């Protein structure tokens, strides 16, 4: 099973890399690819809508202060063709997202990957700077 | 059987499959024209990672005005970021498939991205004189042998040529040449003619291949950009490529 998943992940990565780019705006206007960030938190809301899926996670810092971060994923077309569905990400579950920080200084991140507590990686399918330029 | 024979058989099989693939006749419509119809994968053809110059910025045939317009662009002004249509020719770079439906006198392109359609009249009519200042323009086509030649005018100056931000004026005139070069290949060329910004025609070309539906989904999905657009309010100016901004 693990091998099958790995093969699937590899195939998806090889076959449709360009479709993962942001469809409707340039990455550089909102996010800084030079500021990678990794966050772990609890999903509080999922907005399954175009042009991009948004999910919100509560992240606790070292002092215990909780900030609600917005993660931006790909468009629904790309996500659905990669196997995501509306209920793939569930409110209340713990995830780790890796992505790029917003230039505005707000708690916004463009998520490249979303990893579940059990290690399963969901493809956020959004743009890395290398794909949009 | 030793490995040598196995290899020979494999090579013969591959050659046979290749010959069969090439010998398949091109699909044609009842009027004898090549049938361009089907679900085609746009991203692999003309998108060029959102940059028509493909990293060769010094080869772009700018006029001085065209170069200045490019240097003055700001990613925060990208029209599609505000859910405006990408317009032509950027429509052809969208990272989603399109459906071509062909009938006598008309070729229709239906795009997944923003559910935009485009009608190309091949019935001999001239351009519609009063279609001006539109995102997708007014398109007429004719056949030169097996090539569909599309002529488009009437495009406004509110769209970008690509995600990189190459600009155009409202005088832009497009000529597309579309050929079904194999049953599973659509060759697509787009020439941008815009003398105010480009000193000579600027042509981009690529091959498209059919897209298959994902299990449980149709070939084309719904995409409405303004359902939940939340990005533009967080944009920052990105004119750091200008000399006085460095």
* Alpha-carbon distances of B113 from B42, B224, B244, rounded to whole Å: 10, 8, 37
Nearest CB neighbour to B95, from listed A21, A108, A133: A21
Q: Given pLDDT bands bounded at 50, 70 and 90, which one contains residue A18?
A: very low
Tens digit of each residue's pLDDT (9 = 90 or more) over B20-64: 666 678 999 999 999 999 999 886 555 556 788 887 899 999 999
Task: Kindly state whether residue B14 falls inside one of the protein's structural domains.
Answer: no
Task: Kindly state whether residue B17 falls inside one of the protein's structural domains.
Answer: no
CATH code for the domain of B80? 2.40.128.20
Residues of B in contact with A25 (CB under 8 A): 75, 78, 80-81, 231-232, 235
pLDDT at B65: 98
Task: Kindly state whether residue B1 falls inside one of the protein's structural domains.
Answer: no
Residues of A in contact with B226 (CB under 8 A): 51
Which A residues, 5 through 64, put their C-beta within 8 Å of a C-beta on chain B? Answer: 16, 18-19, 21, 23-26, 28-30, 47, 49-52, 54
Residues of A in contact with B49 (CB under 8 A): 18, 21, 131-133
Report ipTM for this prediction: 0.80
Q: Which residues contact B136 (CB under 8 A, 6 or more apart)?
A: B85, B87, B88, B91, B116, B118, B155
Angle at B97 (CA atoms; ends B122, B105), nearest 5 degrees? 10
Task: Kindly state whether residue B5 falls inside one of the protein's structural domains.
Answer: no
Task: Supply the range of the domain harboring residue B190.
Answer: 26-235
**Per CATH, is A2-132 categorized as 2.40.50.140?**
yes
Give the per-residue SS3 of A18-68: HHHCCCCCCHHHCEEEEEEEEEEEEEEEEECCCCCCEEEEEEECCCCCEEE
Which B residues, 3 through 32, put their C-beta within 8 Å of a C-beta on chain A? Answer: none
Name the residue with higher pLDDT: B231 or B105.
B105
Average per-residue pLDDT in chain B?
89
Which B residues, 143 through 202, put their C-beta within 8 Å of a C-beta on chain A? Answer: 163-165
Tens digit of each residue's pLDDT (9 = 90 or more) over B85-118: 999 999 998 889 999 999 999 999 999 999 999 9
| Number of folded domains that form chain B | 1
List chain A domain ranges: 2-132
């Amino acid at each position: 099973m693990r091998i099958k998943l790995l093969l699937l992940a590899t195939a998806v990565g090889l076959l449709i890399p360009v479709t993962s780019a942001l469809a409707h705006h340039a990455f550089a206007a909102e996010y800084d690819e030079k500021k990678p960030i990794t966050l772990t938190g609890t999903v509080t809301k999922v907005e399954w809508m175009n042009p991009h899926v948004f999910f919100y996670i509560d992240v606790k810092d070292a002092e215990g202060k909780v900030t609600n971060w917005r993660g931006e994923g790909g468009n629904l077309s790309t996500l659905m063709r990669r196997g995501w569905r509306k209920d793939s990400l569930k409110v209340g579950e713990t995830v780790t997202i890796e992505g790029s920080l917003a230039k505005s200084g707000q708690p916004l991140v463009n998520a490249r990957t979303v990893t579940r507590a059990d290690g399963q990686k969901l493809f956020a399918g959004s743009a890395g700077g290398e794909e949009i330029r | 059987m030793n490995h040598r024979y196995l290899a020979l058989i494999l090579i013969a099989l591959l050659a046979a499959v290749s010959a069969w693939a090439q010998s398949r006749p091109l699909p044609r419509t009842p009027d004898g024209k090549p049938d361009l119809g089907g679900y085609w994968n746009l991203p692999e053809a003309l998108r060029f990672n959102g940059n028509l110059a493909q990293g060769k910025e010094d080869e772009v045939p700018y006029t001085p005005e065209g170069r200045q317009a490019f240097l003055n662009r700001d990613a925060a002004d990208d029209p599609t970021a505000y859910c405006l249509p990408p317009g032509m020719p950027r429509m052809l770079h969208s990272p989603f498939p399109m459906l071509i439906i062909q009938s006598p006198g008309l070729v229709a392109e239906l795009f997944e991205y923003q559910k935009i359609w485009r009608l190309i009249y091949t019935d001999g009519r001239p351009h519609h004189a009063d279609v001006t200042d539109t995102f997708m323009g007014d398109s007429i086509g004719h056949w030169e042998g097996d090539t569909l030649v599309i002529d488009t005018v009437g495009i406004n100056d509110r769209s970008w040529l690509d995600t990189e931000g190459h600009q155009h004026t409202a005088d832009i005139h497009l000529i597309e040449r579309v050929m079904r070069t194999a049953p599973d290949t659509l060759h697509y060329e787009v020439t941008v003619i815009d003398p105010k910004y480009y000193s000579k025609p600027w042509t981009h070309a690529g091959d498209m291949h059919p897209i298959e539906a994902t299990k449980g989904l149709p070939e084309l999905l719904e995409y409405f950009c303004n359902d939940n657009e939340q990005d533009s309010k967080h944009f920052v100016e990105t004119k750091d490529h200008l000399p006085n901004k460095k």
